Amino acid sequence: MSSGKAFTPLGRTLAVAFVSLNSNPRRRRRSTRARDEAVVVPGGRTALHETAAVAPPATQTTQGLSRRSRAAGPGEREQQRSEAESAASLAAALARERIRRSSGEAEGEEEEGPVPFWQRTWFLALLLAMAAASFAIALLLYLGLDLPEASPAQSYAADPDKVVEITYGSAIKLMHERTKFRLHSHDVPYGSGSGQQSVTSFPNVDDANSYWIVRPQPDTSAKQGDTITHGTIVRLQHMRTRKWLHSHMHASPITGNLEVSCFGGDNESDTGDYWRLEIEGSGKSWRQDQRIRLRHVDTGGYLHSHDRKYTRIAGGQQEVCGVGDKRPDNVWLAAEGVYLPVSQGK
């Protein structure tokens, strides 16, 4: 019997053992160390430096021999038995080494040390950052609701060295002389009376809801840029909501005087929007430095304000109403605004 046929079981056993040991890529780099730790003992056996007993020859190896191998001579059978025992011993040693190294790697992984702090807390830090960003955005949105809106461009107060004429088309603020509050309106209706858009006086100089456009009475020859003289009927249109300064016989919320409201629109106006200009002093035309009164045509009431303030909705703002008699506290002045130049025809 040839040696190639006799060593077929041995080669198969060794191949299985080595493939089993090196099947895990993580352990291939330790194969050199395994070979260094193995020594060959007399009789063709292989063992490790460890004092582990050699396993008896595997039964399946001897059972796997071919009939031709069993019929071989005594010398060949002895040689085959010796080689089979060596292969079995080597396989057992390799298996023990594999088990030992597996346990050693597990211990090594446990001894790698604790997980860094940032790896354990990064998700919590991300949640905190998102919560902080959401809070900051909400705060900015909340504060933005109370920021004063931008005033129209080119608005300015009276120049003491220059007389400014009030003309049709100018957007102005009317300041109550005694309290220094500005005539104001907003898209908030009265809770009583007519239920129309409320009118108040406001303390903030930079408020954009305090601009009023001076308009002429309809069906007249007056045009934009014309000056306005004493006794002329004018209309004041709220620049933001496009409604007209209006009055009627409803009672005002605080004092019960004539209610002043905003009503109508660009194409909707009536005589309840008419106010007659009364200039204090000797001037004939309305200038920025002149004290004026506005008297309602239908009711005869003067545009008036006082220091009694609303406590809800328009908290801190003063009541504006109409009163029947001429008083020192129903005087107004043209303050900040965009004043159109006098037309060349005048």
Q: Phi and psi at residue 187, in whole multiples of 5°?
A: -80, 60
Q: Quick one: pLDDT at residue 74?
A: 64
Domain 171-338 belongs to what topology? Trefoil (Acidic Fibroblast Growth Factor, subunit A) (2.80.10)
Look over the chain and give the mean of its residue pLDDT values, rounded to a whole number: 76
Least confident of 45-59, 283-297, 324-338: 45-59
Q: Do 288 and 227 contact (CB within 8 A), yes or no?
A: no
Per-domain boundaries in the chain = 3-110, 171-338
Question: Taking CA 32 as the corner, what is the angle to CA 28 and CA 34, rounded to the nearest 5 degrees?
Answer: 90
Residue 285 has pLDDT above 70, yes or no: yes
Q: Quick one: pLDDT at residue 155?
A: 42
Half-sphere CA count of 41, side-chain side, radius 13 A = 15
Q: Quick one: pLDDT at residue 124?
A: 80
Q: What is the mean pLDDT of residues 239-257?
A: 95
Grouping H, G, I as helix, E, B as strand and the rest as coil, residue 64 is: coil
Q: Quick one: pLDDT at residue 212?
A: 97
Q: Is the pTM of this model over 0.75?
A: no
At 38, the pLDDT band (50, 70, 90 cuts) reads very low
Q: What is the mean pLDDT of residues 321-326?
A: 95
CA 72 to chain centre: 89
Q: Quick one: pLDDT at residue 334?
A: 96
Element (H, E) at 50: none
**DSSP result, 269-310:** --GGG-EEEEE-SS-SB-BTT-EEEEEETTT-PEEEEEEEE-
Residue 73 has pLDDT above 80, yes or no: no
CA–CA separation, 65 and 139 (whole Å): 86
